[in-house]
Structure 1
């Protein structure tokens, strides 16, 4: 039935939870960036999205998805297929390692979103975006291409 009414699970998910932003548009160009210099672009992209007028919808989406087992499961699948796969495109390494690196990048990005925009812990919540990029991008880059030990 999903394929009868929708192009696939991603479209079903988008309709069922009303995504506030299209991951393909938001992450345009990330997959083409040099993996050794991709972290800054990722962090800037996330901050630009969350500092945009879409912030209220993003907050509502995040809160609503976390509170529902079904929506959380759909969110997990969508994040793996449409977000992490784009962020990790062309990152060298065995598939298991690349998947782990993608999960580690997600810990930093989701943690940043939660602390800065949901919990609003200071001084991170009011730090300038350029300062946040300087503070966070190094860790994201290590998870992308640096040593994992």
Structure 2
């Protein structure tokens, strides 16, 4: 009996790890694989095995390993992408505190901290992963924050980048490298110290 012809690049139903939420399973598995193994040691085949699907399905949904990594970053980074909304809620006079509290709140929450740690560790150890992270931060976060500032484009982008550098640098030292006494400092102390600096970057003279 002749086997049915399959279109190239699309896994058969029996190979694809049937059931709903396959794309979400792949994303979740990819995030765990990147967190555990790092970018270089993670493979599409390993992600597929962890997700219970055929590797062809991973390629079908995402393409290359770099694209899988970018997708897993975007899902995990989604809470931080809401940060620009804090710039539109009320006056810009206290935007530094609101933005600082928002970003640190994401890192303080174990549910959102774990995937962000995985992303940051991969970005630190691999240039490809770092490039994906930079593009996402620049396009999705910094540009959106910059557009909320009533300033020339280049100046607004620089100010947003400096504010982000302050907060990302703090997150790196506190949650990844765990430098003391920063790692164990009360978060309210950090907000009080960081907020004026972030405010100055965004709206200072």
Query: How far does residue 92 in structure 1 lie from its aligned partner after superposition?
Result: 2.0
1:81 aligned residue (123, 136, 139): 139
Match of 2:171 among 113, 132, 141: 113
* Aligned partners of 1:115 and 1:125 also within 8 Å: yes
2:98 alignment partner, one of 38, 41, 46: 41
TM-score, normalised by the number of residues in structure 1: 0.80
The answer for unaligned runs of 5 or more in structure 2 is 1-59
Q: Partner of 2:185 in structure 1?
A: 127
Residue 144 of structure 1 and its aligned partner are, at CA, apart by: 0.2
Using CA pairs below 8 Å that are at least 6 residues apart, which structure has the higher relative contact order?
1
CA shift digits 1:71-92 (9 cap, x unpaired):
2112111111111123333212
Say how many residue pairs are matched: 140
**Alignment partner, residue 51 of structure 1:** 108
Q: Deviations over 1:4-43 (max 9, x none)?
A: 967xxxx866425464231466426324133332111111
Match of 2:125 in 1: 67
CA distance in 2, matches of 1:36, 1:63: 34
CA RMSD of aligned residues (A): 2.5
Change (3 A) 1:17 1:140: closer
TM-score by length of 2: 0.60
